[in-house]
């Protein structure tokens, strides 16, 4: 790994698209970054190419966060090669929307496995080494939907709300080891999810946001960089909301 980044590395799950991609590109300005992807191999390679020339080295691995064995295998390989990470950004996430009374059990489990259980699998491998190295930062990509009801998103909301409880508990358990754990709660961010929505719905949605615009992936990436960096070293167990005032 690159000495310009003090040999520190950061894991970003789901770094091949959207917010995760922006986070990888922002973090690689200061740190080495390892990111995972699930199905989008070509998108992952495109991110690696886009990061060529940045101070941090960037490498990607296919790793389905729902598969505990895959996570365990990759974590062991990374720990052996690079030691404990400086930070972990739990970003990978999906939503499979339906009114709760129509929610399909497979979809419910898929959302929980991807958004929440994967965090447990990664944490089980990486938190102890971070404690032993004397510190680090964990960022979970929750959502404003975890604190504000949104029809059709019961599984997504439950998974995102669980992250805030997990972050608070971990901050209490890990504070004395200087491992900080915080959640980011973005509102509507301009990613492929929004691009796929009908135009009239987008216009109506934008009107509900006090700042009258959707967030940009780089605005979320900037907050991620702040949470893993030296300017937030006394912050743990907190939720940082980035929603243009939607939940205010
Ligand atoms: P995208 O759909 O653009 O990207 C999702 C990323 O997660 C991709 O890199 C995808 O990889 C990866 N991923 C999906 N499933 C898995 C899996 N099983 N294992 C590993 N990686 C997986 O999402 P966004 O950028 O929009 O969202 C990123 C995070 O931010 C999510 O947690 C989301 O809930 C949260 N968020 C997003 C908001 C928004 O408005 N966009 C608002 C609030 C929160 P691949 O393509 O290879 O499958």
DSSP state of 116: I
Give the domain range for residue 40. 3-189+217-242
Q: Does residue 202 lie within any of the structural domains?
A: no
Q: State the maximum Cα–Cα separation within the chain, in Å, rounded to a whole number.
A: 54
**Closest C-alpha to ligand 1, atom 9:** 14
Determine, yes or no, domain membership for 16. yes
For 77-102, write each residue's pLDDT tens digit.
999 999 999 999 999 999 999 999 99
- Give 193 Cα–ligand 1 centroid separation in angstroms: 9
Ligand 1 mean position to 97 CA, how many Å?
14
CATH of the domain at 25: 3.40.50.720
Mean pLDDT value of segment 128-149: 97
Band the pLDDT of 4: cuts 50, 70, 90: low
**Substitution site in 19, 44, 73 for ligand 1 pocket (most atoms within 8 Å of beta carbon):** 19
CA of 180 to the centre of ligand 1 (A): 23
d(C-alpha 218, C-alpha 20), whole Å: 10
**Contact 143 CB / ligand 1 (< 6 Å):** yes
User: Would 204 be classed as within a structural domain?
Assistant: no
Residue pair 32/81 in contact (Cβ under 8 Å)? The answer is no
- Per-residue b/e over 52-66, b at no fewer than 16 CB within 10 Å? eebebbbbbbebbbb
Does 124 fall in a domain? yes
Here the ipTM equals 0.99
Average pLDDT of span 163-167: 98
Mind giving me the DSSP string for 30-94? TSEEEEEESS-HHHHHHHHHHHTTSSS-EEEEE--TT-HHHHHHHHHHHHHHH-S-SEEEE----
196 within some domain: no
Q: How far apart are CA 91 and CA 227, in angstroms?
A: 13
Number of domain units in the chain: 1
195 assigned to some structural domain: no
* Under 8 Å between Cβ of 11 and 89: yes
- pLDDT category at 7 given cuts 50, 70, 90 is confident
| Residue 200, domain member (yes or no) | no
Mutate to test the pocket of ligand 1, among 92, 112, 163 (most ligand atoms within 8 A of CB): 92
pLDDT bucket at 193, cuts 50 / 70 / 90: confident
In a domain? residue 108 = yes
The pLDDT of residue 195 is 81
Q: Is the CB of 90 under 6 A from ligand 1?
A: no
Q: Measured in angstroms, how far is the CA atom of residue 37 from the centroid of ligand 1?
A: 9
Q: How far apart are CA 5 and CA 29, in angstroms?
A: 9
* Active site residues per annotation: 156
Collapsed DSSP state (helix, strand, coil) of residue 126:
helix
In sequence order, which ranges of the chain are alpha helices (DSSP H)?
A: 18-27, 41-51, 68-82, 105-112, 118-133, 154-174, 192-195, 199-207, 217-228
């Amino acid at each position: 790994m690159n000495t310009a980044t003090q040999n520190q590395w950061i894991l970003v799950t789901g770094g091949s698209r959207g917010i995760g991609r922006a986070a990888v590109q922002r973090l690689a300005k200061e740190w080495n970054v390892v990111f995972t992807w699930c199905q989008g191999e070509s998108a992952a390679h495109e991110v690696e190419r886009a990061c060529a020339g940045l101070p941090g080295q960037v490498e990607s691995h296919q790793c389905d966060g729902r598969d505990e064995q895959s996570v365990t295998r990759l974590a062991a390989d990374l720990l052996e090669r690079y030691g404990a990470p400086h930070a972990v950004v739990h970003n990978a996430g999906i939503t499979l929307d339906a009114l709760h009374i129509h929610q399909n059990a497979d979809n419910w489990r898929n959302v929980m496995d991807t958004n929440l259980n994967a965090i447990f699998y990664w944490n089980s491998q990486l938190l102890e080494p971070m404690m032993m190295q004397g510190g680090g930062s964990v960022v979970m990509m929750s959502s404003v939907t975890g604190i504000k009801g949104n029809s059709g998103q019961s599984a997504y909301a439950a998974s995102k709300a669980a992250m805030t409880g997990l972050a608070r508990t971990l901050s209490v358990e890990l504070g004395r080891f200087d491992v900080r754990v915080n959640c980011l709660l973005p509102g509507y961010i301009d990613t492929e999810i929004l691009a796929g929505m009908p135009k009239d719905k987008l216009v109506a949605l934008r009107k509900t946001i006090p700042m009258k615009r959707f967030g940009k992936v780089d605005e979320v990436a900037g907050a991620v960089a702040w949470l893993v960096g030296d300017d937030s070293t006394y912050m743990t167990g907190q939720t940082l909301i980035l929603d243009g005032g939607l939940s205010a």
